[in-house]
């Protein structure tokens, strides 16, 4: 699986959009981008995933660049409860069960 690079930490004002970047420059054509978040020491929670096209669900939007070398997770109206560690991972969907999490980005939403 391709390696991902994320900034270690970010701040965001409550009510504003939080834009979390992820670099995955070595991604292969059949690797999906997944985003998770972990609040305190709870189990990580799946947020969203995509392959090429931008995706949106009730939690967030995922923007993937045309060359697929990077992506951005967007929380449109961040709340204090969105304070968490956000992980971006890439996954080949067909062969192996290995899944590699990086260090993630700690997002601090401030009042």
Q: Which residues bind another protein (CB under 8 A)?
A: 32, 34, 36, 41-46, 49, 87, 89, 91, 93-104
Structure tokens at 23: 């670099």
Interatomic CA distance for residues 63 and 72, integer angstroms = 5
**DSSP type of residue 82:** G
Nearer to another protein, 79 or 103 (CB): 103
Shortest approach of another protein to residue 99 CB, angstroms?
A: 6
Shortest approach of another protein to residue 44 CB, angstroms?
A: 5
Nearer to another protein, 20 or 77 (CB): 20
CB-based contacts of 41: which residues, under 8 Å, 6+ apart?
none
């Amino acid at each position: 699986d391709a390696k991902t690079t994320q900034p270690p930490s970010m701040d965001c004002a409550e009510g504003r959009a939080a834009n979390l970047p992820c670099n995955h420059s070595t991604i292969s054509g059949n690797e999906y981008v997944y985003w998770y978040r972990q609040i305190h020491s709870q189990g990580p929670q799946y947020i969203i995933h995509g392959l090429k096209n931008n995706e949106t669900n009730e939690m967030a939007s995922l923007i993937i660049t045309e060359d697929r070398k990077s992506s951005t997770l967007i929380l449109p109206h961040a709340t204090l409860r969105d304070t968490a560690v956000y992980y971006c991972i890439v996954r080949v969907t067909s062969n192996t069960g290995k899944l590699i999490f990086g260090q993630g980005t700690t997002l601090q939403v401030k009042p």
